[in-house]
A and B are shown apart, each in its own frame.
Chain A
Amino acid sequence: MLARFTTQGHTEVRALNGLTVNIPARQFVAVMGASGSGKSTLLYIVAGLARPSSGEIQLFDQAIHTMSDDQLTQLRRTRIGLIFQSFNLLPTLSALENVALPLLINGARLSAARAKAKTLLALVGLSDRLAHRPDELSGGQQQRVAIARALINEAPLLLADEPTGNLDSHTGEEILQLLHALVADQQRTIVMVTHDLRAAGYADQVIELKDGQVVTG
């Protein structure tokens, strides 16, 4: 039973309110809900970027709600890939460097990280954009770079926060197909937060939230 309460001003915000969710491995799970339903909060708690006010989270057979900040960071570095709505690429780095960054953070050699980043950029169809910086790429291309970055550490769990939210419908379709292929071909687990019904159509399971509680799923 997960709960997260925060206060903003004098108002208590119950982002998650007694919620129990089971996410099976190697599945594409969509979390849906209206604005303020708590879906992003759930995603950030799973990623270890936020802590629940009460409740337990079991991830990879570990109780991550008891982990220290450093342990959560280590978990994110090795086992979780994050994809954001606004891409969150570092603007000063090229596409290749952005993708290689998680490996470099992990202490890998630059040459090895670059080689793997090249392979992944080829996988997402950006072999010809290696040296381009984010501001020289379209929204769809930036999201592909972000996906490649999330894949480089071979994380079994990908968490995507509205990955198609800033993209046009055609590019959004391409990104969703790419994510779906990752589950089918590479046996990854993807949890995707979205309020787009069409996006949720690509998922194996849909969890719908309302006022911090599970409605369906």
Chain B
Amino acid sequence: MRATLTLFLLTSLRHSARHKLRTLLTLLGIVAGVATFIFAPTLAASIARSVQESGEDLAGRADLEIRGPTEGFHPRALSIARTVPGVAVAVAAPLVQAVGVLPDRSEPLVVMGIDPKFDQAIRAYNLAQGRFLNRLGEVLLGQSYAAERGLHLNQRITVIAPTGSFDFKIVGLLAGSGVARLNNGDVLVMLYKDAQTLRGNINLATIALTLQPAQDPNAVIAQLRAALPASLTVDLAQAKRGALSDIQTMLNFVMGFASFMILSVGSTLVYNTMAVAVAQRRAEIGVLRALGVTQRRVRQMFVIEAGFFGLLGSLVGMLCGYALVQSAGQSLNLSVMFKAAPHGKIIAEVPAWLPCVALLAGVGLPMLAGYLPAPTWRPSSPSASPRLNRPPAILICARWMWRPFARKADVSSGTKATNKPPTRA
């Protein structure tokens, strides 16, 4: 083993130090591959989870949903829905719109207009501080948003909307799950009427309903359809969640496929960079074999070398992967990628098993690449004898690619290709 380690220190490390660019490219290949191993599955899983959680937060516990045309519908529909037998709670679903808050207008908030009397029956509002909404001019603010901007309870803030500027008083700070999780906590909750003022009209977008116990949803739907104007549609809220679930399934499939492709490319990259690095030292292997190094020792030497660079590249690759994940978590927004979903930043967390798999791939694949090709290059015949002054690989490739054209040229010029025995000194 001492001889193998001496060979590794004397030839492998020296070779790497001399061919800095080649070594750097080999390491970069491993770094890129391992970073991909960390980044791609994490991103896919995080996006899928974020979509699911956002959907759950917004849909809440609603059983049915009434929808209207794009421009909205008259609030009278809400009163009608409440009179239909079997309906337990009917609330105007949040009027979601983005506005800015002075003095920091750069990052828009999501504003939800709610009916405080009924909305808590459908969605979760966890108050970290203060109280729930009682009257016009009051707002609940995401605690994280307030903390980032130094806003506190009972402070007055100015909300900038398309219809003008409006002053509100912060009466509660939301935290934890439910509504506070929407848009990564950058959320402002106010009474529906205040939100209508911000929006500039009184129309409703949707109505969410919960049913009394043991009610047949289809029977209630039929009654609602009969009572409401024909321009409104009534569906199971589950259908909406089902649609979200379908989208999520599709997203999972697309991200899974993309991850698989990226991981395949990453694995190939890791394997190939090491295999090429070994191939480029074919002449050196030939000399070592001629000087009395056994196949096994050549293998050991390259496996140690591959493991060394694999470990080095993997550690750097994992750091890069984590940095990419953090960067994606901070900069990606679901609204950019998935317009039908509510706003919500991706919370990217690397699963515990992933670094182990990445390390295994980052070290194992290069070691395999070092192990497999090394023994096949033995100076077993004079034609394969070690010569260091062979032409560069690119020249050999160019000659090989030129061969068919050269043959055509011979035929067209009337020269018959001869199969001369090779000459050898």
Are the CB atoms of A49 and B382 closer together than 8 Å?
A: yes
Are the CB atoms of A92 and B388 closer together than 8 Å?
A: no
CA–CA, A15 and B423, complex, Å: 10
CA–CA, A49 and B423, complex, Å: 19
CB distance from A132 to the nearest CB of B (A): 15
Are the CB atoms of A44 and B14 closer together than 8 Å?
A: no
Contact of A50 (CB < 8 Å), options: B11, B291, B381, B420? B381
CA–CA, A77 and B291, complex, Å: 6
CA–CA, A6 and B384, complex, Å: 13
CB distance from B55 to the nearest CB of A (A): 60
Are the CB atoms of B290 and A8 closer together than 8 Å?
A: no
Q: Does A162 contact B (CB under 8 A)?
A: yes
CA–CA, A15 and B421, complex, Å: 10
Are the CB atoms of A97 and B10 closer together than 8 Å?
A: yes
Q: Does B287 contact A (CB under 8 A)?
A: yes
Q: Does B336 contact A (CB under 8 A)?
A: no
CB distance from B422 to the nearest CB of A (A): 5
Q: Tell me the A50-92 residues at the B interface (CB within 8 Å).
A: 50-51, 69-70, 73-74, 76-78, 82, 84, 86-92
Are the CB atoms of B382 and A41 closer together than 8 Å?
A: yes
Q: Does A9 contact B (CB under 8 A)?
A: yes
Are the CB atoms of B419 and A11 closer together than 8 Å?
A: yes
The residues of A that contact B283 with a CB separation of less than 8 Å are 88
Q: State whether A51 and B292 are in contact (beta carbons under 8 Å apart), knowing that A11-B421, A93-B10 are contacts in the complex.
A: no
CB distance from A170 to the nearest CB of B (A): 22
Q: Does A107 contact B (CB under 8 A)?
A: yes
The residues of B that contact A78 with a CB separation of less than 8 Å are 292
The residues of B that contact A10 with a CB separation of less than 8 Å are 419
Chain B residue at smallest Cβ distance from A12: B421
CA–CA, A10 and B417, complex, Å: 13
Place the interface of chain A in its size category.
35 or more
CB distance from B296 to the nearest CB of A (A): 8
Encode B283-305 as 1/0 by CB contact (under 8 A) with A: 11011111111111100000000
Which stretch in B1-9, B169-177, B182-190, B406-414 binds the other chain?
A: B1-9
Contact of B425 (CB < 8 Å), options: A6, A35, A51, A97? A35
Q: Does A101 contact B (CB under 8 A)?
A: yes
Q: State whether A105 and B419 are in contact (beta carbons under 8 Å apart), knowing that A86-B388, A92-B11, A93-B10 are contacts in the complex.
A: no
Q: Does A177 contact B (CB under 8 A)?
A: no
Are the CB atoms of A35 and B419 closer together than 8 Å?
A: no
CB distance from B334 to the nearest CB of A (A): 53
Are the CB atoms of B388 and A69 closer together than 8 Å?
A: no
Chain B residue at smallest Cβ distance from A36: B423
Are the CB atoms of A106 and B3 closer together than 8 Å?
A: yes
Q: State whether A49 and B424 are in contact (beta carbons under 8 Å apart), knowing that A69-B295, A104-B7 are contacts in the complex.
A: no
CB distance from B10 to the nearest CB of A (A): 6
Encode B382-417 as 1/0 by CB contact (under 8 A) with A: 110111110000000000000000000000000000
CA–CA, A176 and B290, complex, Å: 22
Q: Tell me the A12-58 residues at the B interface (CB within 8 Å).
A: 13, 15, 35-36, 39-41, 44, 47, 49-51
Given A89-B388, A97-B10, A101-B10, 20 further pairs, Cβ under 8 A? A15-B382, A41-B424, A49-B290, A50-B381, A69-B295, A88-B287, A89-B287, A90-B284, A91-B18, A92-B11, A92-B15, A92-B17, A102-B291, A104-B3, A104-B6, A104-B7, A105-B3, A105-B288, A106-B292, A162-B425
| B residues whose Cβ falls under 8 Å from a Cβ of A | 2-3, 6-7, 10-11, 14-15, 17-18, 283-284, 286-297, 378-383, 385-389, 419-425
